[in-house]
Amino acid sequence: MFFFKLSSFYFFYFAAVGVYIIFLPKVLHDIGYSPAHIGIIFALAPLMRFATPFLFLKHIKLDQQMFKSALLLSIVSSGLFYFTINNFYLFMVNNAILGVCLSLILPYIEVISLKELGKERYGKSRLYGSIGFMFISLVLAKFLSEPFIALHYYLATNILTVFFALLLLKFDVEHEDNTIIHEKFSFLKYWPFWLSLFFMQMSFGGFYNFFTIYETEHGISLEMTSYLWSFGVICEIAMLYFQAPLLKHNLLNIIKFAIAMTTLRWLLLYLFPDSLPITFFTQGMHAFSFGLYHSSVIIYLYSLYTNKKLAQQFMYGVAYGLGGFTGAIIAGWLYGEHLFLYSSLFSLLAFLSLYITTKTAQKTV
| pLDDT recorded at residue 358 | 43
Domain residue ranges in the chain: 2-173+183-353
Residues 6+ apart with CB under 8 A from 201: 319, 320, 323, 324, 327
Q: Residue 236: which of 113, 132, 114, 346 has the closest Cα?
A: 132
How far is residue 320's CA from residue 287's CA, in Å, rounded to a whole number? 18
- Pseudo-torsion of CA 60, 64, 67, 72, nearest 10°? -120
Residues 6+ apart with CB under 8 A from 188: none
Per-residue pLDDT reduced to its tens digit, 247-306: 888 888 999 999 999 999 999 999 998 899 999 999 999 999 988 998 899 888 888 777
Residues 6+ apart with CB under 8 A from 194: 187, 318
| pLDDT recorded at residue 48 | 83
Q: Give the mean model confidence (pLDDT) for residues 185-201.
A: 85
Q: Which residue has the higher pLDDT, 142 or 74?
A: 74
2-173+183-353: which CATH topology?
Growth Hormone; Chain: A; (1.20.1250)
* 115 pLDDT above the threshold of 50: yes
Q: pLDDT grade, residue 357 (50/70/90)?
A: very low
| pLDDT recorded at residue 182 | 54
| pLDDT recorded at residue 161 | 95
Q: Which residue has the higher pLDDT, 83 or 181?
A: 83
